[in-house]
Structure 1
Amino acid sequence: MRVDQQLTLASKQLGQSAEIAECFVSLRLARHVRQGEAAVRAGLSRATAQRIEKGDPGVAIGALLRYLDAIAPGMTLLKLLNGDDPAILALERRSRPQRVRELSKAEMKALDF
């Protein structure tokens, strides 16, 4: 009989599962890999890839590792969770809001019509 893992885990553990899923999504987006393409490379169904990225705790660890290798060959799960990947860091930098500086008096005068 199949057991729904979401019903058997505490909310803290479900939160950790969601954090792991966010790491997978960030890595995939940072590496510009489509979800379907990563699933095919990993030998998984697209539904399983969706479950991984939604944080389903019932997905086997082997499927997680194959999906990770399909997105970023050679990367370990520990590196993913640490957020050490340069592509993820670049994605985070691009997504941060940029502060707009005020114009100097000379720049304001040049723009005055």
Structure 2
Amino acid sequence: MRVDQQLTLASKQLGQSAEIAQCLVSLRLARRVRQSEAAVRAGLSRATAQRIEKGDPGVAVGALLRYLDAIAPGMNLFQLLSGDDPAIIALERRSRPQRVRDLSTAEMKALDF
């Protein structure tokens, strides 16, 4: 009989599961790996990859670790949760809004045809 893990876990543990899932999604997007490609590399079905990325606490830890290794070979959970991967940092920089200043009068005149 299958037990719904979301009903048996405390909200704090569900939050931790969601945090791990969000870190995995960010890492996958930062490294530009498709979900289906990561699933194939890890030997998982795409449905299992979706469950991992949704934060389903019923997914086996081994499947989660294989999925992580498929996205970032050699990375462990501690490194994932620290968020210091160069790809994630670059993704955050790209997604940040940049401030644009108005042109000065001299610059406007230089651009005027």
Q: TM-score, length-normalised on structure 2?
A: 0.93
Mapped to 2, the partners of 1:65 and 1:52 lie a distance apart of: 10
Q: Which residue of 2 aligns with 1:29?
A: 29
Mapped to 2, the partners of 1:4 and 1:43 lie a distance apart of: 24
Mapped to 2, the partners of 1:97 and 1:20 lie a distance apart of: 26
Q: Which moved more, 1:80-89 or 1:10-19?
A: 10-19
Mapped to 2, the partners of 1:103 and 1:16 lie a distance apart of: 47
Letter in 1 for 2:22: E
TM-aligned CA deviation for residue 111 of structure 1: 4.1
Q: Which residue of 2 aligns with 1:63?
A: 63
Give runs of aligned pairs for residues 77-96 of structure 1, distance below 5 A.
Answer: 77-96=77-96
- Unpaired runs of at least 5, structure 2: none
Letter in 1 for 2:84: D
Q: Which moved more, 1:14-23 or 1:62-71?
A: 14-23
Letter in 1 for 2:73: P
How large is the RMSD of aligned CA atoms in angstroms?
Answer: 1.3
TM-aligned CA deviation for residue 65 of structure 1: 0.5
Mapped to 1, the partners of 2:72 and 2:8 lie a distance apart of: 31
Q: Which residue of 2 aligns with 1:48?
A: 48
Letter in 2 for 1:72: A
- Unpaired runs of at least 5, structure 1: none
- The percentage of aligned residue pairs carrying the same residue is 89
Q: TM-score, length-normalised on structure 1?
A: 0.93
TM-aligned CA deviation for residue 96 of structure 1: 0.7
Mapped to 2, the partners of 1:94 and 1:44 lie a distance apart of: 31
Q: Which residue of 1 aligns with 2:103?
A: 103
TM-aligned CA deviation for residue 3 of structure 1: 1.0
**SS of match in other structure, 1:75:** coil
